[in-house]
Amino acid sequence: MKIMINNKSYTVPDSFKEKRLTEYLRDELDLTGAKNACEMNACGACAVLLNNEVIKICHVLVKDAEGKKITTIEGMAKPDGTLHPLQQAFVDAGAIQCGFCTPGMVLTAHALLLKNSKPTREQIRKALQGNLCRCTGYQQIIDAVEMASEHYRKN
């Protein structure tokens, strides 16, 4: 079975097909940006993009992602390390504290902005309501998404 992650094709070992996608990413590929925090679809710390749709993968089996295009936080920056404008906005807006929710937040916001490049702050809040953050009170995260939206409008 083959799987496409961050524009790279991987052959999944049989032993991982029936396992959760988080385990495959974290244990096999060392892509640890997707976190285990609730393991029951309730917090968004494991969110990645599957064909540009946000999905919490703590309960997604590897085999169910076959043939799909997965984007993890590790695939957001350019290969030379330059941050994606949305990531840069998170940095500049002070949207990062402990950072545990950050990968899921960035990816969820990315999915929103791909669909709606001029969201209101209320729409941003709605889009992020499945991603829990205990540090920031969300204010600077929403600032960041708003700041980055301009980039999506231009492109």
Which CB sits closer to other proteins, 115 or 126?
A: 126
58 Rama class: left (phi>0) / alpha (psi -120 to 50) / beta: alpha
The three-state secondary structure class of 134 is: coil
Q: Which stretch binds other proteins (CB under 8 A): 7-15, 60-68, 111-119, 141-149?
A: 141-149
Question: Rule CB under 8 A: is residue 136 a binding residue for other proteins?
Answer: yes
Distances (CA, A) of 84 to 38, 148, 152: 28, 9, 11
Among 51, 52, 120, 129, the residue binding other proteins under the rule CB under 8 A is: 129
Among 3, 47, 49, 93, the residue binding other proteins under the rule CB under 8 A is: 93
Taking the C-alpha atoms of residue 53 and residue 33, their distance in angstroms, rounded to an integer, is: 17
Question: Rule CB under 8 A: is residue 58 a binding residue for other proteins?
Answer: no
Question: Rule CB under 8 A: is residue 76 a binding residue for other proteins?
Answer: yes
Which CB sits closer to other proteins, 14 or 67?
A: 14
Distances (CA, A) of 120 to 38, 109, 155: 29, 13, 19
Question: Rule CB under 8 A: is residue 101 a binding residue for other proteins?
Answer: yes
Nearest to 107 by CA among 47, 50, 37, 31: 47
Name the site residues for other proteins (rule: CB under 8 A): 26, 30-40, 42-43, 45, 72-74, 76-77, 83, 87, 90-94, 96-103, 106, 121, 124-126, 128-143
